[in-house]
Chains A and B, each alone.
Chain A
Amino acid sequence: GAVVSQHPSRVICKSGTSVKIECRSLDFQATTMFWYRQFPKKSLMLMATSNEGSKATYEQGVEKDKFLINHASLTLSTLTVTSAHPEDSSFYICSASPEYTPSYEQYFGPGTRLTVT
């Protein structure tokens, strides 16, 4: 199956700093990628849709200036958490779907656990 990677897997940063998370599709091209946030023992909440070559589409309630998304190539999307605060601590997961997949099944990255101290 298709493989999606994320880097880093874990990051600890100080309050006020910015953190960049990378999401890569390793064996397929993805014009669209999705970013989710998951709190412990909770469901996944869609944050934004990352579109290659154009602006990301953010879900209601998600601050676009705080969660910067860049999708510069067909295999890479980045999420930058700017001026991080402890409440931004969470598990961030990206997903993508190869265009050849008829059922649009999403392949998820392994996730990035962000801790803001």
Chain B
Amino acid sequence: DIQMTQSPSSLSASVGDRVTITCRASQGIKNDLGWFQQKPGEAPKRLIYAASSLQSGVPSRFSGSGSGTEFTLTISSLQPEDFATYYCLQYSTYIPWTFGQGTKVEIK
């Protein structure tokens, strides 16, 4: 199975900060990776697919980069509505698909 190591597990940041979250795959997955945001009591929402493509309707302050084994989600200027938990998901041809452990973004 492909392991997705997501870091950090949590972070504290202020409104306006630049935030970076990383996922490392245990083997190459090309660009078969998505990023999801989940707020308490809500279903996950996809932000990024194919590692760097922005989901329609998602603010442009969110961006994704990387390929192979190293991937990054960046929030360029953190907004109050961005405080949530973020997950990466690898959906390559290697079954099972696997999520990262999650990163909780909290208010500093």
| A and B from one complex | no
Binding site for A on B (CB under 8 A): none
Binding site for B on A (CB under 8 A): none
